[in-house]
Amino acid sequence: MESIDVKFNKLIATLALYLEQEELEKVRQAFVFAAEAHRGQVRKSGEEYIYHPLGAAQILAEMQLDYKIIISALLHDVPEDTSRTLEEIELEFGSEISTMVEGITKLANIKYRGIERYIENLRKMFLAMASDLRVILIKFADRLHNLRTLYALPEEKQLRIAQEVLEIYAPIASRLGMFEMKSMLEDEAFKYVNRKEYNWVIGLIESDFKPRLPSVEKTTLAMKKILDDGGINYLDIRMRTKQTYSLYKKLLRYDRNTSRIHDFTAVRIIVQTVPECYQVLGLVHNNFVPMKGKFKDYISQPKPNDYQSLHTTVFAPGEEGRTFEVQIRTMEMDQEAEFGIAAHWNYKEKGSQKINKNLKWIQELTKWTQEFVENQKFLESLKLDVFNDRIFVFTPKGDVIELPEDSTPVDFAFHVHSELGNQCVRAMINNQIAQLDAKLKSGDVVEIIRDKNRKFPNPDWLKFCKTSVAKSRIKSSLKDRSLVERFLKR
């Protein structure tokens, strides 16, 4: 294993590519502070603790993020795990950094307690995010580094952490447009969540996909020449292979048939302007045979997440039936696609452009917070396999009740409390009067209007209520009622 010094020098070398000398000095100071605070602590993997914050900082440095983010990453476990306090961090590094570290510490205290807590966790994540999105970036790096050293933990814990990543972190990274981060998180987690399927995909990559690479490499070279001859001053042209987890998901959609997947390898061409994108597309279509129906113009019609690029699939020359995808976009589109919201703290954008970016970010955040409050749209966008047949509704106090799809206010009432179920007479859904057999949707706020004199449920409810909890509670209350009635008749 590399020594701490080697790791730290690597971090400084990465940072030196974009930070000023005095900023590097502050990073060095934070490293010394963290290393001293964590001195003597050892991780489960057997390495000294400081490797972890160093690893997290390295991930963020590779995204070329602001030095304050790097410093906060180095310090992120100090208040939680050492005798040094937040106040000391504030004294030494200022309130902006101590506030970030505080945010990460708070997030760390959110523990995963099964599916019911899921939405609650998300809400807390988002609240933390609304105050400072940088906290989430650090949290991602923290989690990614933990995943990379997950082998040291017991199996049960591995599974829990990896699942949490697939269910919570990756979808949030995706919503923030951080596809690079999302991919890294998913690929690391995939291994632990389903080892068998992971090995299956890795095997396929070796047997079916890797043999496709040389022809794409050859074609990339040919393409370079075509661009040069066409007088295109491109910024970059490179080959990309699809990440493991997204390849897996695609294989599942295509009956596990590898021959139906055409975008395992893509050639990405980065140019300076939008007109150049179309010029390059023309050259590509002129020189390679495009596959029918595969051309997509996400520049004039961006994806809902604002992704922009031109995509086309072409046949590799001289290779029977071999196809690959070509992605054409500007540098800005590329940055946005890889780093999403994190691109806004990226040092590649300097000066006035950066100010505009920040403004855009604030607008995005406002939009986000609104969505978050509305909840519904957000929940819909997060439809994961586990939740396909589940809905989440809210009590007027904001507690979350998880129910199966098509549940009614009666189900809701019995899930909150048997007595509330027995006494319910009407419901308010999102402040509108509703029938007791109305179908609830994720995000609904449900209020039960009760009649306190009422003791027993209506047997008719059994006809429409959905959950076994409600049904069994109704039946047992009715049994009580018949006992009481029999007693009264006597």
Binding interface with Mn ion (CB under 5 A)? 77, 142
Find the shortest distance in angstroms from Cβ 164 to Mn ion. 14
From 81, 88, 90, 164, the catalytic residue:
81
Find the shortest distance in angstroms from Cβ 80 to Mn ion. 8
Distances (CA, A) of 253 to 23, 179, 184, 196, 383: 48, 20, 21, 18, 16
HSE-up of residue 467 (Cα within 13 Å, Cβ side): 24
Nearer to Mn ion, 77 or 263 (CB): 77
Nearer to Mn ion, 77 or 447 (CB): 77
Nearer to Mn ion, 142 or 444 (CB): 142
Give the separation between CA 130 and CA 103, rounded to whole angstroms: 11
Nearer to Mn ion, 69 or 316 (CB): 69
Those residues with Cβ within 8 angstroms of residue 357's Cβ, 6 or more apart along the chain or in another chain: 343, 344, 349
Nearer to Mn ion, 102 or 142 (CB): 142
Give the separation between CA 379 and CA 372, rounded to whole angstroms: 9
Judge whether 142 counts as a catalytic residue.
no
Instruction: Return the DSSP state at 259.
Output: G
Find the shortest distance in angstroms from Cβ 130 to Mn ion. 22
Tokens 């040094």 sit on residue:
84
From 2, 80, 451, 480, the catalytic residue:
80
Pairing type for strands 323-330 and 310-315 reads: antiparallel
Nearer to Mn ion, 149 or 376 (CB): 149
Find the shortest distance in angstroms from Cβ 385 to Mn ion. 28
Give the separation between CA 41 and CA 45, rounded to whole angstroms: 12
Nearer to Mn ion, 144 or 193 (CB): 144
Find the shortest distance in angstroms from Cβ 115 to Mn ion. 24
Judge whether 374 counts as a catalytic residue.
no
Give the separation between CA 465 and CA 475, rounded to whole angstroms: 12
Which residue, judged by CB position, is nearest to Mn ion in the bound state?
142
Find the shortest distance in angstroms from Cβ 52 to Mn ion. 6
Give the separation between CA 135 and CA 213, rounded to whole angstroms: 39
Sign of the alpha-carbon torsion through 268, 197, 254, 404: negative
Distances (CA, A) of 403 to 111, 421, 467: 22, 15, 8
Give the separation between CA 32 and CA 79, rounded to whole angstroms: 15
Angle of helix 4-16 relative to helix 21-37, nearest 10 degrees, comes to 150
Find the shortest distance in angstroms from Cβ 142 to Mn ion. 4
Give, in degrees to the nearest 5, the angle at Cα 424 between 480 and 418: 50
Task: List, by residue number, the catalytic residues.
Answer: 80-81
